[in-house]
A and B are shown apart, each in its own frame.
Chain A
Amino acid sequence: MTSPRSGPPAVEAIGLRWTYAGRPRPALADITFRLEPGRTLLVLGPSGSGKSTLARALTGLVPHTLPGIWQGVLRIGEMNVASTPARFLGERVGLVFQDPDCQLVMARVDDEVAFGLENRGWPRADMQARVPIALGQVGLTGFESRATGTLSGGEKQRLAIADVLAAEPSLLVFDEPTANLDPPGMYDTLEQLAALARRRQHTIVLIEHRLEAALPLADDVLLIDDEGRQMAFAPADSVGRDAVDLLERSGAWVPRAWEGADMTGRGAGAGGAGAGGAGAAIAKPPSMSSGAPVLLRAVDLGVDYTIESGVHSAVDGLSIEARAGERIAIVGPNGSGKSTLLFALCGLRRPNRGSVGLRALPAAGEAEAAEKFRDPARLRSNEIAVRIGLVFQDPELGFVARTARDEVAASELAAQDRNQDRDPQGHTAVGRRRTSAGPGSVPPDADGVLAQFGLGHLADQDPFRLSQGEQRRLSLAALALRPPAVVLLDEPTFGLDRRGTGAVMTLLDAMRATGQTQLLATHDPRLLPHCDRVVALEHGRVVFDGSPDRFLAEPPYTPAAPWRAGVATETATETAPKPAAGQTR
């Protein structure tokens, strides 16, 4: 390797391997690379490839805080990570995590920046001089006395960057710093990153899914496969074709700039997708929305929260209608009311003004549903379950059982119990025909559903022990036996790699093919071309309601670039949806 300087590299790994205590396989294996000072390294790999573990190793959390078995050598400058106490590493390395809410410790902005300095024993006068400089470096001058809880997502992440800059580390590690942010927040953060990378005062290790923006910052790239093994380490502009192929096959997101030569094996549509024609790669399933019955209707919805300074309307005068078989993307900046809207639509949060009405899907052959719109807050549990379902961004909050099989069977079993106990009309009235479950008879075919969702081998596993992607698929599988007419999904592809995103979208396509309405609250512009409609929120109001094409041509936000740019990564993101044969019941 040609080294521009004679000093030690900023980071050097030789045969690094780490196995978390109690795990059979190493999280990282055979990691060998050499990063020169001032350069930016982009780490790429599928979910579960040990990217976060590498970030933890660089900061000494592995092996000093988390237990496990360490092999090989990792050096930061002249310090050997395994044998250097964490406090010395901490002075040299700063780590920014993905979730801003889980890394801000203090209630006030200036206290937050000072926290790391206090821990390292800085004299008060030095801290008082340093805190405003660090805030200035990320454009937060004047925010000193603000409460950290009142900052936007992008501001929180900038604050987290100020936190690590304050201690003047030589190595900065970013572990998916934009994953929780809306497109503007993401651009905001990436701009901060770009400025840091350009200054070349720090060596940067960046783990990031948003490759279009991240790749141009990178001097070097490190490719890791799904077993934590290094596939390649190379300068960013000379990554070998074979390495890219390996990366693609591993299911990771792949930078668009690298995809060109690889398009041959894919659908012809993908190659032709120009910058604007993002949706071209995916054959859209036919939409059933036109003329289909309206299943969800919210009129002049208002939801208020009491905050320190008074009452704040998270949703304000919002009206929306969704028809059977329609897939609607709900987009908007952090805090624009997306989550509140979902909660209000399913009756979790009672609106202060306006109304929400839900209707069950009419049985095949019936005319436009005769049923009246029902208020979700007034429906009984079994009545609401057939009308609307909610899939959380954090699937764990929605789990109700101790094994994956029970998780899938839970709703069905509850319905059978009810049939046994009382009024058998309870749900058959809504016209959804299922297995002829006589009183307490047929055990639901949970294993069949698990197999369809690629979870067959995990039937006896505790849902909490599954990987992120598996949890997401299980949360969808849990709706399969008694599919609700409308399903609300909060960031359904959050944190998933290309393969995981493709799997989720394929399952959603299959569910929609039966007439299900799907509302997706998302920050991910890549999903927009898969939707029939985009509803954009700002300050709790609808600022746009129309086709994805129109939204992407003219996003109602300024700057609009982030929303458009995100779609550019689309093209072959999905393994083109297979015919839904296996999925429909």
Chain B
Amino acid sequence: MSFMPAPLGPIRPAFLTRVTPAARLVAGSIWLVASIVTLDPVVPIRLSVAAVIAIVLWSGLPLRRIPRRLAPLGFAIASLTFFSILFAGANGDRSLDALFQFGPVRITAPAVTGGLAIGLRVVVIALATLLVFGPSDPTQMADSLVQQWHVPDRFAYGTLGAMRVAPFMADDWAIIGAARRLRGLSSGGPASRIRAAGDRLVVMLVAAIRGAERLALAMDARGFDSGIRRTHFRELKVSWRDWLTIAVASLVAVAALTAGR
């Protein structure tokens, strides 16, 4: 039983679910680079629009559930943008006109565009991440990295195993906190709260390490990393879709950077 929300996976086959994860990672990285090489907020806006179109048309993800899942990130982006604008260096430049002034608070136009650019970059990163990791399960991602990029087995499948049990850690954290409350230990000042968080962390880490040890033992018992060259049950074939995805992503990035200039 889990307190964690279910993973956001594809609910129907779509174009991007048939593209190998490694190719999606390349395409996503191109957009990532394109969004950070300029301070012009127009570029991340164009890329965000392109990403939304790709998610809607080709990702196979459950569209209705995406907004709620991205909501916490939206809050983070909004506050990041707000504070980037508020504390931008350009606000102190007396040669620029103020768009807004209230007491010591002074906002200039370059500060607004700069702040928006920073916030919008994170929007692009979030949407691109969804396009890269959303359309396949983590196993496919690990298979793809091992087969196409020759990432070491121990790293890829070890991480995969860890990801599978990671949600249990969040549960453990909640349960350990509740256990302290039921023992009458959780009221008190901030200092005792911080100390309690430390104790909680110790218990959670012990539980996590015990779990990891058991999983590692189970993997070893089944011959993992025993010196034999590993083969692969699922074959990942590079197809025209991979190349098309990378090509289109590159074209969109170039267009977003150069159009109207």
Is B261 an interface residue when CB atoms closer than 8 A count as contact?
no
By size class, the interface of chain A is: 35 or more
Other than the given A385-B181, A400-B183, A411-B183, 13 more pairs (CB < 8 A) read A86-B226, A87-B228, A95-B221, A101-B168, A306-B5, A348-B175, A384-B184, A392-B175, A396-B210, A397-B172, A397-B179, A400-B199, A414-B184
Check if A340 sits within 8 Å of B182, measured CB to CB: no
By size class, the interface of chain B is: 35 or more
- A43-71 interface bits toward B, Cβ cutoff 8 Å, 1 = contact, 0 = none: 00000000000001001010001000000
Check if A384 sits within 8 Å of B181, measured CB to CB: yes
Check if B231 sits within 8 Å of A127, measured CB to CB: yes
Considering the complex of A and B, which 9 residue pairs feature the smallest CB-CB distances, nearest first?
A385-B184, A114-B233, A87-B226, A103-B218, A116-B222, A348-B178, A119-B223, A102-B214, A90-B223
Interface positions, chain B 212-261, Cβ under 8 Å from A, are: 214-215, 217-235
- B21-65 interface bits toward A, Cβ cutoff 8 Å, 1 = contact, 0 = none: 000000000000000000000000000000000000000000000
Contact flag A87-B227 (CB < 8 Å), given A102-B211, A110-B233, A464-B206: yes
Is B2 an interface residue when CB atoms closer than 8 A count as contact?
yes
Check if B231 sits within 8 Å of A118, measured CB to CB: yes
13 contacts between A and B (CB under 8 A): A65-B217, A97-B221, A102-B215, A105-B157, A106-B160, A111-B139, A115-B222, A116-B222, A119-B224, A121-B231, A308-B9, A384-B181, A398-B179
Is A85 an interface residue when CB atoms closer than 8 A count as contact?
yes
Q: In the assembled complex, how far is the CB of residue B215 from the closest CB belonging to chain A, in whole angstroms? A: 6
How far is it, in angstroms, between the C-alpha of A374 and the C-alpha of B51 when the chains are bound? 50
Q: In the assembled complex, how far is the CB of residue A55 from the closest CB belonging to chain B, in whole angstroms? A: 9
Residue from B1, B164, B225 within 8 A of A119 (CB atoms): B225
Residue from A105, A380, A389, A482 within 8 A of B215 (CB atoms): A105
Contact flag A86-B9 (CB < 8 Å), given A348-B178, A400-B179: no
Q: In the assembled complex, how far is the CB of residue A523 from the closest CB belonging to chain B, in whole angstroms? A: 15
How far is it, in angstroms, between the C-alpha of A396 and the C-alpha of B175 when the chains are bound? 11
How far is it, in angstroms, between the C-alpha of A56 and the C-alpha of B213 when the chains are bound? 14
Check if A105 sits within 8 Å of B219, measured CB to CB: yes
Q: Which residues of A contact B157 (CB under 8 A)?
A: 105
Is B104 an interface residue when CB atoms closer than 8 A count as contact?
no
Residue from B175, B186, B232 within 8 A of A118 (CB atoms): B232
Q: In the assembled complex, how far is the CB of residue A569 from the closest CB belonging to chain B, in whole angstroms? A: 27
How far is it, in angstroms, between the C-alpha of A348 and the C-alpha of B186 when the chains are bound? 13
Check if B179 sits within 8 Å of A90, measured CB to CB: no
Is B185 an interface residue when CB atoms closer than 8 A count as contact?
yes
Interface positions, chain B 163-214, Cβ under 8 Å from A, are: 164, 168, 172, 174-176, 178-188, 199, 203, 206-207, 210-211, 214
A386 to B, closest residue via Cβ: B184
Interface positions, chain A 339-358, Cβ under 8 Å from B, are: 339-340, 343, 346-349
Q: In the assembled complex, how far is the CB of residue A478 from the closest CB belonging to chain B, in whole angstroms? A: 7
A residues in contact (CB < 8 Å) with B: 56, 59, 61, 65, 85-87, 90-91, 95, 97, 99, 101-103, 105-108, 110-111, 114-124, 127-128, 131, 163-164, 167, 305-308, 314, 339-340, 343, 346-349, 380-382, 384-386, 388-390, 392, 394, 396-400, 410-411, 414-415, 417-418, 464, 478, 482, 484
How far is it, in angstroms, between the C-alpha of A410 and the C-alpha of B3 when the chains are bound? 28
Residue from B175, B180, B214, B221 within 8 A of A99 (CB atoms): B214
Q: Which residues of B contact A482 (CB under 8 A)?
A: 184
Check if B231 sits within 8 Å of A61, measured CB to CB: no
Check if B221 sits within 8 Å of A124, measured CB to CB: no
Residue from A343, A384, A397 within 8 A of B203 (CB atoms): A397
Residue from B1, B184, B223 within 8 A of A87 (CB atoms): B223
Check if A105 sits within 8 Å of B218, measured CB to CB: yes
Residue from B137, B161, B221, B229 within 8 A of A59 (CB atoms): B221
Q: Which residues of B contact A418 (CB under 8 A)?
A: 187
A310 to B, closest residue via Cβ: B6
Contact flag A400-B231 (CB < 8 Å), given A65-B220, A90-B222, A305-B1: no
B residues in contact (CB < 8 Å) with A: 1-3, 5-7, 9, 137-139, 157, 160-161, 164, 168, 172, 174-176, 178-188, 199, 203, 206-207, 210-211, 214-215, 217-235
Check if B228 sits within 8 Å of A119, measured CB to CB: yes
How far is it, in angstroms, between the C-alpha of A107 and the C-alpha of B139 when the chains are bound? 7
Check if A111 sits within 8 Å of B234, measured CB to CB: yes
B142 to A, closest residue via Cβ: A106
How far is it, in angstroms, between the C-alpha of A396 and the C-alpha of B209 when the chains are bound? 12
Check if A127 sits within 8 Å of B230, measured CB to CB: no
How far is it, in angstroms, between the C-alpha of A390 and the C-alpha of B221 when the chains are bound? 35
How far is it, in angstroms, between the C-alpha of A422 and the C-alpha of B139 when the chains are bound? 55
Check if A339 sits within 8 Å of B203, measured CB to CB: no
Q: Which residues of A contact B215 (CB under 8 A)?
A: 102-103, 105
B233 to A, closest residue via Cβ: A114
Q: In the assembled complex, how far is the CB of residue B160 from the closest CB belonging to chain A, in whole angstroms? A: 8
Residue from B7, B178, B214 within 8 A of A308 (CB atoms): B7
Check if A346 sits within 8 Å of B178, measured CB to CB: yes
B211 to A, closest residue via Cβ: A102
Check if A97 sits within 8 Å of B214, measured CB to CB: yes
How far is it, in angstroms, between the C-alpha of A61 and the C-alpha of B219 when the chains are bound? 11
Q: In the assembled complex, how far is the CB of residue A45 from the closest CB belonging to chain B, in whole angstroms? A: 21
Check if B183 sits within 8 Å of A385, measured CB to CB: yes
Contact flag A340-B1 (CB < 8 Å), given A87-B223, A414-B184: yes
Q: Which residues of B contact A164 (CB under 8 A)?
A: 222
Q: Which residues of A contact B218 (CB under 8 A)?
A: 97, 102-103, 105
Check if B184 sits within 8 Å of A411, measured CB to CB: yes
Check if B233 sits within 8 Å of A124, measured CB to CB: yes
Check if B233 sits within 8 Å of A396, measured CB to CB: no
B187 to A, closest residue via Cβ: A381
Contact flag A414-B211 (CB < 8 Å), given A85-B226, A106-B139: no
Check if B221 sits within 8 Å of A118, measured CB to CB: no
How far is it, in angstroms, between the C-alpha of A102 and the C-alpha of B206 when the chains are bound? 15
Q: In the assembled complex, how far is the CB of residue B144 from the closest CB belonging to chain A, in whole angstroms? A: 13
Check if A396 sits within 8 Å of B179, measured CB to CB: no
Q: In the assembled complex, how far is the CB of residue B22 from the closest CB belonging to chain A, in whole angstroms? A: 18
How far is it, in angstroms, between the C-alpha of A349 and the C-alpha of B211 when the chains are bound? 23
How far is it, in angstroms, between the C-alpha of A163 and the C-alpha of B214 when the chains are bound? 16
Check if A397 sits within 8 Å of B176, measured CB to CB: yes
Contact flag A400-B180 (CB < 8 Å), given A97-B214, A117-B233: yes
Check if A121 sits within 8 Å of B9, measured CB to CB: no
A418 to B, closest residue via Cβ: B187
How far is it, in angstroms, between the C-alpha of A163 and the C-alpha of B210 when the chains are bound? 22
How far is it, in angstroms, between the C-alpha of A494 and the C-alpha of B187 when the chains are bound? 32
How far is it, in angstroms, between the C-alpha of A101 and the C-alpha of B228 when the chains are bound? 26
Contact flag A107-B137 (CB < 8 Å), given A65-B220, A118-B231, A396-B207: yes
Q: Which residues of B contact A131 (CB under 8 A)?
A: 233
How far is it, in angstroms, between the C-alpha of A103 and the C-alpha of B198 when the chains are bound? 30
How far is it, in angstroms, between the C-alpha of A277 and the C-alpha of B103 when the chains are bound? 85
Q: In the assembled complex, how far is the CB of residue A330 from the closest CB belonging to chain B, in whole angstroms? A: 15
Check if B225 sits within 8 Å of A388, measured CB to CB: no
Check if B185 sits within 8 Å of A128, measured CB to CB: no
B227 to A, closest residue via Cβ: A87
Residue from B160, B185, B229 within 8 A of A410 (CB atoms): B185
